Structures are given as C-alpha cells and as structure tokens.
C-alpha cells in the first residue's frame, strides 16, 4: 500500500484526507481527470474500506500510476508531518473527520480529537515544514446550528452538537493560521450534499436503501428520527468541484455553498416513496433513539 515517493513531477500534487468517503472519492476522480497526482490518507483496518475508489485505484508500481494511498490517522501528528514532508503537495484537501452528527453525541471526545484537533495537527505540520501548499478545510452548515436563516459567511456560529463544535474549532484555527502565518487556507462551509456514495447511516441513504430492501422483500420497516428536520440538500460531485475552484482563487477566503432551498425529511420520504408507488406511512416508524439531544432549528 505504501508507495515510494518519486521526485516531484511537473504536474500538480494533491493530498487528501477522507479520500475513501463520499466527497474524497469524487474529489480524487475530479483531480485525476485534471491531471493531478493524488495522495490519500487512509486508516489501517482489518478489512479494506476503499470500495468508493476501486474504479480509479491501480497498483502504485505501475509506471502511469497517479493515485497513491498512505496509512495514517488524524490523531497521529508524527505520521501527518512525515507524509506531508515527503509528498510536498501543492494542494491539501482536509475532508477527513468523524462526520456523523448523531454519533458525535455518543463519541464526543473522539469527534473532538479527529474532527477538531486533526485539523490543527495538519496545519502544524504545514507550518513547521514550511510546505508552500494551499489548504482546504471542510466546514459544515452544522456549525450554524440554531442561527436563523438565511445564513452566509458573516452569520455567527451556534453549534448544536459535538461534531459542529469540533468543526467550529477547526474553522477558527484555520482562520488563525491564515492570519498569523500567512498560509493559503480556505474554509468551505458546505450544506448537506448527497449521492449514491453517501454513507449508509445518513438519512437519505437510509431511506433509499430501505426502499430498495422493501421492494426486494428483505425489509418491512424503515426506522427514523425527527421527520420535521429541514436540510438543504445538494449534489456531492458539484460540491467537490466548488472545493477545487475555491483553491484556484488568487487570495484565500471562506465560502458558504448551498442550493438555497431547504426541505424536510418528511418531504424527502414522500418524494422517494411516491417514485416507487408506495405510501411511506405504511413503512416508516419513528425510533426516539435517532433523535438528537439538540436539533438544528
């Protein structure tokens, strides 16, 4: 899995955390199509978790290989520093995190360590090694929390979960490193964005996979939490292109990315079940375990 780092080619080199996730896999595809050499950070596991990038991965020993994976973890500062010093990327896209909001209430310390401090560790590695890379920090609309809409780059944050609080820390430490050390750092504050590669525990995928299982006779019910929660849902491949565009600007800045239109989980349910000719109320049950201790208004 570890690939020897050859002398830096003329083409641009990108380093991605979270490369095996929804956004990371789409971004890797996008960058490869633009001629980049792409390096991704993955965690060591007993089973491979690279299904989203199988279509673009090739043996690193092949002469034309441009995608390389490296074992590491956002909790291990020494590995991050060593990798960045070796790879010397032109662009760093920091997408890795414990990104499930409901899970963050059950694992607040882990969420803070990976989602919050993980960002600081990468920024310190860039600063100490004096790597002249541009840095993209993946923010989240969850940082706004209970702040009333419409929300923009000037809206104060009011996080309502450990995940959101960790993202707020990551955002502010990124701004601090930009201002204190003159680093090129851009924050993308993205509202929800979905795709077939969305994690299966997220509500849109729970619904679509649940419907498929119901139609196949493998499942009778879908168990969900708050159906009145509203979200602004976009399309992930569009959003990763916007990440890249942010990094091509002359000066770094912070950007909110959204469709500008919010819909409730109930509306999503109605639309999805209507598409297959079923009444969602016959197949959906509410499970209080999926309620968040503090919901985004």
Q: What is the DSSP string of 193-232?
A: EE-TTS-TTSHHHHHHHHHHHHHTTS-S-EEES-TT-EE-
How far, in Å, CA of 12 to CA of 281, rounded?
51
Distance, in Å, from the CA atom of 230 to the CA atom of 264, rounded to the nearest integer, reads 4
In the prediction, which pLDDT does 58 show? 76
Question: What span, in angstroms and rounded, lies between the C-alpha atoms of 179 and 66?
Answer: 33
Model pTM score? 0.88
Residues 30, 92: one domain? yes
The Cα 180–Cα 277 span in angstroms is: 57
Instruction: Give domain status of residue 173, yes or no.
Output: yes
Dist CA 72 CA 128 (whole Å): 19
Residue 8: inside a domain: no
Indicate if 23 and 167 belong to the same structural domain: yes
Interval 145-164: pLDDT, tens: 989 889 999 999 999 999 99
- What total of structural domains would you count in the chain? 2
Q: Give pLDDT tens digits for 69-83.
A: 999 999 999 999 999
Q: Packing angle between helix 118-129 and helix 162-181, nearest 10 degrees?
A: 20
**What is the predicted pLDDT for the residue at 48?**
64
Q: Which domain holds residue 28?
A: 13-192+233-257
170 and 218 share one domain: no
The answer to whether 10 is a known catalytic residue is no
Provide the pLDDT confidence category of residue 186 given band limits of 50, 70 and 90: very high
d(CA 73, CA 122): 11
Structure confidence at residue 295 (pLDDT): 64
- Is 164 contained in some domain? yes
Catalytic residue among 29, 37, 91, 142: 142
Same domain for 159 and 225? no
**Residues 211, 146 share a domain:** no
Does 61 score more than 80 pLDDT?
Answer: no
Strand partners, 284: 222
Confidence category of residue 285, pLDDT binned at 50, 70, 90? very high
Active-site residue identified among 26, 36, 93, 163: 163
- Write down the catalytic residue from 104, 140, 141, 161: 140
218 and 154 in a common domain = no
Average pLDDT, the chain: 92
Q: Is the pLDDT of residue 297 over 60?
A: no
Q: Could you tell me the CATH number of the domain that includes residue 224?
A: 3.90.25.10
Q: How far apart are CA 250 and CA 109, in angstroms?
A: 37
For this structure, is 142 an active site residue? yes
Span of 56-70, 122-136, 183-197 with lowest mean pLDDT: 56-70
pLDDT in tens, 230-266: 999 999 999 999 999 999 999 999 999 999 999 999 9
- Residue 141 annotated in active site: no
Q: Which distant-in-sequence residues (6+ apart) come within 8 Å of 25 by Cβ?
A: 19, 52, 53, 56, 197
How far is it, in rounded angstroms, from Cα 71 to Cα 160? Answer: 32
């Amino acid at each position: 899995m570890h690939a020897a780092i050859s002398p830096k080619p003329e083409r641009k080199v990108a380093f991605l955390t979270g490369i095996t996730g929804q956004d990371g896999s789409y971004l890797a595809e996008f960058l490869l199509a633009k001629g980049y050499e792409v390096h991704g950070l993955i965690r060591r596991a007993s089973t491979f978790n690279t299904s989203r990038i199988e279509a673009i991965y090739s043996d690193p020993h092949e002469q034309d290989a441009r995608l390389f994976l490296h074992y590491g973890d956002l909790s291990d500062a020494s590995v991050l520093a060593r990798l960045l010093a070796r790879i010397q990327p032109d662009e760093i896209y920091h997408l890795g995190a414990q990104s499930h909001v409901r899970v963050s209430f059950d694992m607040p310390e882990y969420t803070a360590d990976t989602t919050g401090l993980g960002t600081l560790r990468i920024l310190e590695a860039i600063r100490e090694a004096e790597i002249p890379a541009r840095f993209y920090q993946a923010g989240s609309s969850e940082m706004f929390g209970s702040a009333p809409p419409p929300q923009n780059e000037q809206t104060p944050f009011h996080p309502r979960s450990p995940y959101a609080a960790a993202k707020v820390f990551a955002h502010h430490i990124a701004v601090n490193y930009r201002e204190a050390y003159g680093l090129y750092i851009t924050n993308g504050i993205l509202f929800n964005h979905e795709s077939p590669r969305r994690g299966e525990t997220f509500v849109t995928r729970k619904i679509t996979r649940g419907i498929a299982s119901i139609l196949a006779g493998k499942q009778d019910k879908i168990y969900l939490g708050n159906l009145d929660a509203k979200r602004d849902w976009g399309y992930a491949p569009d959003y990763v292109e916007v990440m890249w565009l942010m990094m091509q600007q002359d000066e770094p800045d912070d950007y909110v990315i959204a469709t500008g239109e919010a819909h409730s989980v109930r509306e999503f349910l109605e639309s999805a079940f209507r598409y297959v000719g079923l009444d969602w109320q016959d197949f959906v049950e509410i499970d209080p375990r999926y309620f968040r201790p503090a919901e985004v208004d």
